[in-house]
Structure 1
Amino acid sequence: MALSETTPIFGESAIDAPRPIKVVVVGAGFSGIIAGIRFLQRVPNVQLTIYEALGGIGGTWFANKYPGLACDIPAHCYQLTFHEKTDWSSFYARGSEIQAYLESVVEKHNLRPFIRLEHRLTGAIYSEATGKWNLTIQRPNKDSGGETEEFEDSTDILFTGIGGLSRWKWPDIKGLHSFGGKIVHSARWETGEGDVSSPWEDTVESWKDKRVGVIGVGSSAIQIVPALQPKVRHLCNYVRGKTWISSPFLGERAEKLGMGKTESNYTFTDKDKELFKDPAYYKEFRRELESDLNSIHVVTLTGHPVQVAGRAAFKADMLKRLATQPAIAEHIIPDFPVGCRRLTPGPGYLEALCQANVEFISTEIKQVLPNGIETVDGKIDELDVIVCATGFDTSYRLPFPIVGRGGVQLSDKYNPHPKSYLSIAVDGFPNWFQSNGPNSAVGSGSLLIVFERQVDYAVQATLKLQREHLKSIEIKPQAVADWDAYIEHYFKKTVFGEKCRSWYKQGQEEGRVVALWPGSCLHAVRALEHPRWEDYTYEPLDGHTNRFFWAGNGTTVAEETPDADKAWYLSEVDVPPVRLH
Structure 2
Amino acid sequence: MTQQPLFSESAIDAPRPIKVVVVGAGFSGIIAGIRFLQRVKNVELTIYEALNGVGGTWFANRYPGLACDIPSHCYQLTFHEKTDWSSFYVQGPEILAYLETVVDKYNLRPFIKLEHRLTSAIWSEDTGKWNLTIQRPSTDSANQVEEFQTDADVLFTGIGGLSRWKWPDVKGLHSFKGKIIHSAKWETGEGDPAGPWEDTVQSWKDKKVGVIGVGSSALQIVPALQPKVQLLRNYVRGQTWISFPFLGDRAEQLGMGTTETNYKFTDKDKERFRDPAYYKDFRRDLESDLNSLHVVTLKGHPMQEGGRTTFKADMLKRLEPRPDIAEHLIPDFPICCRRLTPGPGYLEALCQDNVEFIPTEIEQILPNGIETVDGKIDELDVIVCATGFDTSFQLPFPIIGRGGVQLSEKYKPHPKTYLSVAVDGFPNWFQSLGPNAAVGSGSLLIVIERQVDYAVEATLKLQREHLKSMEVKTEAVEDWDAYLEHHFEKTVFSEKCRSWYKQGLSEGRVVALWPGSCLHAVRALEHPRWEDYTYESLNGHKNRFFWAGNGTTVAEETPGADRAWYLSQVDFPPVPLHQA
Q: CA 1:537 to 1:228, structure 2 compared with 1: closer, same or farther past 3 Å?
A: same
1:130-186 Cα offsets, whole Å, 9 max, x none, are 000000000001321310000000000000000110000111111110001000000
Give the structure 2 partner of residue 382 of structure 1.
Answer: 379
Superposed, which structure 2 residues align to 1:78-97 within 5 Å?
78-97=75-94
1:433-468 Cα offsets, whole Å, 9 max, x none, are 000000000000111000000000000000000000
Over 4 Å off, 4+ runs = none
Give the structure 2 partner of residue 256 of structure 1.
Answer: 252
| Pairing 1:13–2:10 present | yes
CA contact (8 A) 1:257 1:285 kept: no
CA contact (8 A) 2:71 2:90 kept: yes
Superposed, which structure 2 residues align to 1:21-40 within 5 Å?
21-40=18-37
Q: Distance in 1 between the 2:249 and 2:68 partners?
A: 18
Q: Distance in 1 between the 2:82 and 2:56 partners?
A: 19
1:251-309 Cα offsets, whole Å, 9 max, x none, are 23331221512531111111111111000010011001000000010000000000000
SS in 2 for 1:252: coil
Gaps of 5+ in 2: none
Residue from 295, 304, 311 that aligns with 1:314: 311
TM-score in terms of structure 2 length: 0.98
Structure 1 residue 5 displacement after superposition = 9.1
Deviates more, 1:158-167 or 1:139-148: 139-148
Superposed, which structure 2 residues align to 1:423-434 within 5 Å?
423-434=420-431
SS in 2 for 1:208: helix
| Pairing 1:573–2:579 present | no
Give, as a single letter, the amino acid of the residue that structure 2 aligns with 1:514.
Answer: V
TM-score in terms of structure 1 length: 0.98
Superposed, which structure 2 residues align to 1:187-226 within 5 Å?
187-194=184-191, 196-226=193-223
Q: Distance in 2 between the 1:448 and 1:145 partners?
A: 37
Q: Distance in 2 between the 1:210 and 1:198 partners?
A: 21
Give the structure 1 partner of residue 483 of structure 2.
Answer: 486
Q: Distance in 1 between the 2:507 and 2:196 partners?
A: 37
SS in 1 for 2:418: coil
Gaps of 5+ in 1: none
Give, as a single letter, the amino acid of the residue that structure 1 aligns with 2:248.
Answer: E
SS in 2 for 1:101: helix
Superposed, which structure 2 residues align to 1:359-398 within 5 Å?
359-398=356-395
Give, as a single letter, the amino acid of the residue that structure 2 aligns with 1:151.
Answer: F
Structure 1 residue 194 displacement after superposition = 3.6
Residue from 183, 189, 204 that aligns with 1:186: 183
Q: Distance in 1 between the 2:430 and 2:192 partners?
A: 34
Q: Distance in 1 between the 2:439 and 2:530 partners?
A: 25
CA contact (8 A) 1:212 1:384 kept: yes
Superposed, which structure 2 residues align to 1:225-374 within 5 Å?
225-249=222-246, 251-261=247-257, 263-374=260-371
Give the structure 1 partner of residue 493 of structure 2.
Answer: 496
Give, as a single letter, the amino acid of the residue that structure 2 aligns with 1:201.
Answer: E
Deviates more, 1:229-238 or 1:139-148: 139-148
| Pairing 1:60–2:57 present | yes
1:73-111 Cα offsets, whole Å, 9 max, x none, are 100000000000001111011000000000000000000
Structure 1 residue 417 displacement after superposition = 0.4
SS in 2 for 1:542: helix
1:362-384 Cα offsets, whole Å, 9 max, x none, are 01111111111111111111100
CA contact (8 A) 1:259 1:272 kept: no
Structure 1 residue 6 displacement after superposition = 2.4
Superposed, which structure 2 residues align to 1:19-168 within 5 Å?
19-168=16-165
Give, as a single letter, the amino acid of the residue that structure 1 aligns with 2:160.
Answer: G
SS in 2 for 1:288: helix
Q: Distance in 2 between the 1:313 and 1:358 partners?
A: 26
Q: Distance in 1 between the 2:92 and 2:77 partners?
A: 16
1:17-60 Cα offsets, whole Å, 9 max, x none, are 00000000000000000000000000000000000000000000
Size of the aligned set, in residue pairs, is: 577
Q: Distance in 1 between the 2:505 and 2:281 partners?
A: 41
SS in 1 for 2:206: coil
Q: Distance in 1 between the 2:126 and 2:381 partners?
A: 58
Give, as a single letter, the amino acid of the residue that structure 2 aligns with 1:441.
Answer: A
> CA RMSD of the aligned region, Å?
1.0
Identity %: 80
Residue from 458, 463, 466 that aligns with 1:461: 458
CA contact (8 A) 2:193 2:200 kept: no
Structure 1 residue 195 displacement after superposition = 5.6
SS in 1 for 2:147: strand
Q: Distance in 1 between the 2:337 and 2:279 partners?
A: 33
Structure 1 residue 197 displacement after superposition = 2.3
SS in 2 for 1:92: coil
Q: Distance in 1 between the 2:255 and 2:122 partners?
A: 52
Give the structure 2 partner of residue 511 of structure 1.
Answer: 508
Q: Distance in 2 between the 1:53 and 1:122 partners?
A: 10
CA contact (8 A) 1:223 1:346 kept: yes
Q: Distance in 2 between the 1:191 and 1:354 partners?
A: 27
